[in-house]
Amino acid sequence: MIDSILFNLMLVGVLGIFSQWAAWRFRLPAIVVMSIAGLLAGPFLGIINPQEEFGDLFKPIISMAVAIILFEGSLNLDFREVKGLGRPVFRIVTIGAFLAWILGSLGAHYVAGLSWAVAFVIGGLFIVTGPTVILPMLRQAKLKPRPAAILKWEGIIVDPFGALLAVFAFEFILFFTSEKGAANTLLMFFLASFFAVVLGWLCGKGVGWVFERGHVPEFLKSPVVFVVVLACFTISDQITHETGLLAVTAMGMTLANMHISSIADMRHFKENISVLLISTIFVMLTASLSLDTLIEIFNWRIIGFVLLMLFIVRPLSIFLSTIGTDLSWKEKTLVGWIAPRGIVALTVSSYFASVLLDTGFEDAAVLTSVTFALVFGTVVVHGFSIGWLAKKLDLAINERPGVLIIGGSSFSTELAKTLKELKTPVMIADSSWKRLFSARKAGVPFFRGEILSEQTEYHMDLTPYEYLLATTEVDSYNALVCTTFIPSIGRTNLFQLSLKGKRSDDIEDLVHTLGGRILFQEDATWDELNKRIERGDIIRKTNITEKYSFEEYLHEREENTILLFVMKPSGKIEFFSPDGPGKAEAGDVVVSLTQPYKEMNKIQEKLVEQREKPLKKEKENKTKHK
């Protein structure tokens, strides 16, 4: 172990972010990778022990992380969006959550051997399904819109309230187990809770008000949100412990339902800071575990409790709470199986373990082991089974990465038809029915609506689409669309048509910082592509084989051919772009826009054959008569 706080901070950050990258690169559950990284660096190799190294700073850092993560979840609680999800989600987040609390608490007492007090606290916390892990799972598994929406919103809605339920359970336990038994203790807690809600509401309203009226410049908005969240949490928690969680949740919900224009900026802030916090905090928590704690995980009571939560508590709570809804048995089965616990469960349970121990509940010492066993078990089992189960239940969409085309036109319709023929999920989105006419006529999937509207993601499932092509005739709009989707799709898979006008040095610099990659080639503008389609050019598919190489194809192709993309056997698409030299190998399909020379030659041959056929027949008749 290296005795340096600076080195430990650096190592924790590096391990956390590297784990996130490795999880993205190899399509693994991020918390699994972070857990392994933390365990290797901590109890196994003994390189770091953050709890010892950071000393008094350890708990404040954990508390800060919990506050930010709860704020992140509550910032997504827009009541307009929740109302549109129907009865199943409402039932799951109310009746289902209550059943999960009761059943989980019974399991914690009778199976894990915890006292009733500790069991009901931890049972309330374990109703959370962890949006920090469920959302990456949904992106990886590519579920159909309905089950994906249910799992997504359950995670977002229940996540903040799981910690709050644990807080209320803890206060009730203190009230009933207190030797004094004074009612004013519980009354003070409810007053403090009411104060926390008011404080959170005031902080949310205040931040929204100053943002909307321009009293805070753009470059200070994210720091202001960060500081106010911490201030809201700290002030409330100093007055009465544990109410800080309620305060930041109220603040996030208030901001989410003010519908201010800066909400997107705050979401970018919380996404960025949460990724950093989740990565570092999870590594800190796992690296601080002792070998005794890890060995304790293999206690038959803890293993039995985890199995009970996996196979009985979660499925039973979902099936009972969704009786009388329109969910199919397949959807109930999938939703009833998937419930990964994440960073909130582990961080908050660590907090409650120390509080309960200080209060005199000695069995709370095993809370960290129980929670880590449940978190690690659910993330591993659900992370690696969600895709398989979704396919078996026919609740997964096409595995092939889809293409979202922004802008209806003759060219985009022909491109979408070709992608559809290649069995690739494709969608054309435009706000105009007129521009979507050719797509509707051709039977191509389309979406009428403004892709930049914040409501679009709740009316259109973006999960199937890994590539976005901005193909409208307005260059600035194409750049805006690509810039907007950089956080969710990534710059590598974002493309826009080449600019119409001649570029100056200033424009060249702008293209590198805003928008997406140039699609196809520099002269493939909107006008050029659509003009060629309207004059009769076609999109041709050419198979590359061992005998017919890509180099031969390039040598033989027509001079004015525009190379569009390469389709790999796996379904992966590589769009041609000036900044990325495209190359095809044997087994690939090269798709290009070209003049129909081959087709015209075949038509010409048929016409000649039809003209010569009567003459040939007449000649044969003359020869026969002779």
Tell me 362's DSSP state. Answer: G
What gap in Å lies between CA 531 and CA 533, rounded to an integer? 6
pLDDT of 459 reads 65
Q: Please give the structure tokens belonging to residue 86.
A: 């129907």
Stretch 69-82: mean pLDDT = 67
Stretch 182-198: mean pLDDT = 76
Given a contact cutoff of 8 angstroms between Cβ atoms, the answer to whether 540 and 567 are in contact is no
What gap in Å lies between CA 224 and CA 138, rounded to an integer? 32
pLDDT of 614 reads 65
Given a contact cutoff of 8 angstroms between Cβ atoms, the answer to whether 499 and 475 are in contact is yes
Stretch 172-187: mean pLDDT = 64
Best CA proximity match to 108, nearest among 290, 291, 349, 289? 349
Q: How confident is the model at residue 618 (pLDDT cuts 50, 70, 90)?
A: low
433 has a pLDDT exceeding 50 = yes
- The DSSP element (H or E) to which 25 belongs, if any, is helix 5-25
Q: pLDDT averaged over the chain?
A: 79
pLDDT of 311 reads 93
pLDDT of 505 reads 44
612 has a pLDDT exceeding 60 = yes
Stretch 573-589: mean pLDDT = 80
The number of beta carbons lying within 10 Å of the beta carbon of residue 155 is: 26
What gap in Å lies between CA 163 and CA 193, rounded to an integer? 13
What gap in Å lies between CA 565 and CA 416, rounded to an integer? 12
What gap in Å lies between CA 381 and CA 385, rounded to an integer? 6
Q: How confident is the model at residue 270 (pLDDT cuts 50, 70, 90)?
A: low
What gap in Å lies between CA 602 and CA 218, rounded to an integer? 62
What gap in Å lies between CA 536 and CA 531, rounded to an integer? 9
Q: What is the largest CA-CA distance in the chain?
A: 130
Stretch 188-203: mean pLDDT = 85
Residue 360's identity, in one-letter code, is G
Give pTM, 2 decimals: 0.69
3-state helix, strand and coil shares in percent for the chain, rounded to the nearest 5:
65, 10, 25
Q: Among residues of the chain, what percentage have pLDDT more than 70?
A: 81
Q: Please give the structure tokens belonging to residue 623.
A: 């020869």
Rounded to the nearest 10°, the torsion over CA 418, 421, 423, 427 is: 50
Where would I find the H helices in 394-444? Answer: 410-421, 437-442
What gap in Å lies between CA 329 and CA 335, rounded to an integer? 10
What are φ and ψ of residue 179, in 5° steps? -65, -35
46 has a pLDDT exceeding 80 = yes
Given a contact cutoff of 8 angstroms between Cβ atoms, the answer to whether 563 and 523 are in contact is no
Write the pLDDT tens digit of every residue in 492-551.
888 888 876 544 444 444 445 567 788 888 888 888 888 888 888 888 888 888 888 888
Q: Which residue has the higher pLDDT, 245 or 569?
A: 569
Write the pLDDT tens digit of every residue in 456-484.
665 666 777 888 888 888 888 888 888 87
pLDDT of 506 reads 45
206 has a pLDDT exceeding 80 = yes
pLDDT of 552 reads 83
pLDDT of 111 reads 92
Low-confidence winner among 58-72, 185-199, 438-452, 507-521 (lowest mean pLDDT): 507-521
What gap in Å lies between CA 379 and CA 358, rounded to an integer? 30
Write the pLDDT tens digit of every residue in 322-375.
888 888 898 899 989 988 887 777 777 877 787 788 777 888 888 888 888 898
DSSP-assigned letters across all residues of 112-171: S---HHHHHHHHHHTT---HHHHHHHHHHHTB-HHHHHHHHHHHHHHHHHHHHHHHHHHH
Q: How confident is the model at residue 303 (pLDDT cuts 50, 70, 90)?
A: very high
Distance of CA 133 to the CA centre of its chain: 9
78 to 342, 462, 538: CA distances (angstroms): 22, 19, 46
* Spatial strand order in the sheet of 465-470: 446-448, 426-430, 402-406, 465-470, 494-496, 517-518
3 state SS of 402: strand
- The DSSP element (H or E) to which 591 belongs, if any, is strand 589-594
DSSP-assigned letters across all residues of 486-534: HHHH-GGGEEEPPPSSPP-HHHHHHHHHSS-EEPS-TT--HHHHHHHHH
Stretch 43-68: mean pLDDT = 81
What gap in Å lies between CA 263 and CA 257, rounded to an integer? 10
Write the pLDDT tens digit of every residue in 309-333.
999 999 999 999 988 888 889 889 9
577 DSSP β-pair partners: 580
Q: Please give the structure tokens belonging to residue 227.
A: 């500081």
Residue 223's identity, in one-letter code, is P
3 state SS of 468: strand
pLDDT of 318 reads 92
Stretch 140-163: mean pLDDT = 75
470 DSSP β-pair partners: 406, 496
pLDDT of 326 reads 80
Stretch 278-301: mean pLDDT = 82
pLDDT of 504 reads 44
1 has a pLDDT exceeding 60 = no
Given a contact cutoff of 8 angstroms between Cβ atoms, the answer to whether 148 and 393 are in contact is no
